Each structure stands twice: as structure tokens, then as C-alpha cells.
Amino acid sequence: MDAYLCPPAVVHGEHAVQTDQILDDVRSRHPRASWLPRIDGIAASTGITSRGWMLPLETATAPGSGSGLRTPGAGPAREALGRAGFGEAEVDRAIAALEAIPAPQTIQERTAPAWAAVQRYAEHAAREALGIAGLETADVDCLITSHSTTPALPGLDLSLLNRLPLRNDVLLLPASQWACIAGTRSLALAADLVAADPDRVVLVVISEALSTTYQPADDTLESLIVRLLFADTAVAAVVTGRPRTESVLRLDAAWHHTLAGTSDLHWLDTRADGTHFVMDRRGPRAVQETVTEMWKWLGTRHEHDEHPWHPDLLLAHPGGTRVMEYMEQTMPDGWPEGLLDYSRDSYTTGNRGGAAVLDILRRAYDAGQKTGSRTVLYAAAPGLTATAVEGEWL
């Protein structure tokens, strides 16, 4: 399966959103929420004090262009109030009050500016990744893209083909619904593509505006957690079938695992006011099941090694601190401590979804790694599905 990965480019959201800002917004909107007295502790448990968004917080919390007087409008409302016995002056005051109530943003108002930002950030990351790899846009033979929170057709693949621009014979592989596994699964697919043709150059681009799931009107505890977790990031990387001077990691093997019957644990729910990320409290336990299966896969791969095997780096995006704790508790005997340090470092500035693993990989690269360092990349996503890639630093 040998494939070669160049250092990824990472473009963080340019607008810093502080946890205190989010908590202030929540307190002002939901003063009677049963969980309100606990929000400081909940926020502290995430370990996230700031995250970068492609658009400012005010964009997500702004009212929509409509008003509280929804369809069918003022005329029927007047007639209904008149039939109920209200006088003309009273009806005028009621209509004016309804028109003064701001309506939530529509899905169009939420998604359109985010989609524009996703494309802009993706282009930036793609150009930077090609520069890192010492390549031009004309060198790209295949483009793999993902952007799960900004649905669009045509999607990010066609946008980048025109923006960069790429050759018109480039193979476009959009994977918008991969979500959190976009990083690992894109690398696994890229490795398969270059195995079939070692002269191929594959460009992977993932751009996620997860802040679009910030829904100010939601009053559930799960919605509070969603507000606190997500960050916006675009990442890109080049995979080739032959080693280049710029290559830093050889990809050797991939593993995939899906738990049937778990689609109801995490999902995107599209409503009139935009996209809502919904999660069930059973989710972390299901993710842990995939971690256990990954340990088995790695054990089988290395059961005949001359010396006991363990990774030197575990670059994992499990989605939360609970699963990282579980990973550390269940690692095979003899594995060293600190394998998840780069994952924890990335998570302190937010959950980046599909962009996370390449962000974590970039942090490891920037810290400097020894040639031969054995590395495992892992991610799980709604479905519930997981992908891991094993490789070695060059």
C-alpha cells in the first residue's frame, strides 16, 4: 500500500471565539434553563477556552431578516384578531409588536456566508499544500474533498477545480458526508489510488465550518455542548505514489470499521433555521467499541514482529476527552505514555471534525519527529464508522 504524504497545510478560523462569550450568549438567551447553574463546570470540562471560526460569533447569533409575524402575514392576522373582538387600535399594537420580534435566521441565511467561507479557506489550504509539496496545480491528477456542514451541489470539488484552477481531466472525488473521518479516510483512499498508479498526485482538501451548528435558540444540554466544542478549519495535503524530497510520512496500511445500528447516535438535522448537530449520550461508548477493534487490528498486524510493537505516535480524533481517556486506559500493556499528546493539544482549541487528524499531524510535524517513528492515525464519525491508517515517518 506504500503511499507518501507531504506535510499538510492548516488554515484556522480567523475569528477567535472565547468560551466566555459563548457562555454570556447562552445565559442571556436561556435564563431559566435547568442546566444553567452548571454551565461553567461543563465549559471547563471541555478544556477549550477559545476556538477559531471562519465567521465571527455575531454572524451566528444575529437575528434573521424576517420577523415574528410569520406566514400567512399581517392581513390574516388582522382578520383573526378582529374576529376575536379586538379593536382597531389594539390590533395595530399587536401587529406592530409581532413585527418587532426578530425571527431566527433561515437556513439560507446561515449557510450561504459559511459556504462562501468554506470555499475561500479551502482554496487557501490547497494552494499552501501544493507549495509545501513543491508542486503546481497542473500536477494534480485527483482531488478528494469533504465539507459536511455546508451542503452544496456542485460542491467543493468543482469549486476548487475552477478556483485553482485544475486540469479538466482531474478525477474529482467529493465525500461531503465523511465528517470526522474525512482526514483518515481520504488518506486511505489516496493511498489506494496511488497504489494503482504510482505516478498519480492526489490532493486532499477538507474545509469545515462547524460553527454553522451553533443554534442560539436551542435550549438542550446537548446543544450547549455543541456550542462549546466546534472550531472551523481547512486542511489540505498531497499524497504521491513515489517518495518526494518533501514527503514526511509513508502510509503502509488502512483499517475501516462500522458499527451497524448506530446511526441514531450522532447526526445533522436540517431545520428551517439551519443545521443542528444532535448527539446521544450513548455516543462515546460506541466510539470506544471502535477503539477496541482498532487495538485488535494492530495486534494482528504485528503479532509476528520480532520485537514487541507499539506506535510512537497516536494521532487520534475521537471527538472528545472521554474517549481519549478511554484510549489511554485500554492501550495494550507496554505502550508508552504521551501517545495522545498532539491530539490533546489540538483539542484545546476545539473539535475540528474532518480537519482534525491533519491538524494533529501538522502539530506533530512542527514538533519534529525521528525517522522511523511508527504512527497511527485514527478517527471516528457519525454512523458510527471509523478509519485508521498506519505509517512511518521518513
Residue 69 has pLDDT above 60, yes or no: no
Integer Cα distance of 386 and 347 in angstroms: 18
Domain count, the chain: 2
pLDDT of residue 372: 97
275 & 307 share domain: yes
Residue 24 has pLDDT above 90, yes or no: yes
pLDDT of residue 269: 79
- State the alpha helices, DSSP H only, in the chain: 19-29, 39-46, 57-61, 74-83, 88-100, 107-133, 156-163, 182-196, 221-229, 283-301, 321-330, 341-347, 356-367
Q: What is the pLDDT of residues 233-281, one digit of tens each?
A: 999 999 999 999 999 999 999 999 999 998 887 777 788 777 888 777 7
- pLDDT confidence band for 70 (50 / 70 / 90): low
pTM to 2 decimals? 0.90
Nearest alpha carbon to residue 198 among 259, 234, 255, 244? 244
Q: What is the mean pLDDT of residues 59-82?
A: 68
Integer Cα distance of 145 and 176 in angstroms: 7
Query: Which of 194, 209, 240 delimits the end of a domain?
Result: 240
Burial (CB count within 10 angstroms: exposed 0-12, middle 13-18, buried 19+), residue 148: buried
Query: Which of 240, 267, 299 delimits the end of a domain?
Result: 240
14 & 157 share domain: yes
Range of lowest pLDDT (18-22, 104-108, 178-182, 302-306): 104-108
Domain containing 336 equals: 249-393
38 & 19 share domain: yes
Q: Is residue 100 part of a domain?
A: no
Angle at 366 between CA 131 and CA 120, to 5 degrees: 45
pLDDT of residue 286: 80
Judged by DSSP in three states, 320 sits in: coil
Query: Which of 206, 240, 274 delimits the end of a domain?
Result: 240
CATH number for position 305: 3.40.47.10
Q: Is residue 128 part of a domain?
A: yes
112 & 134 share domain: yes
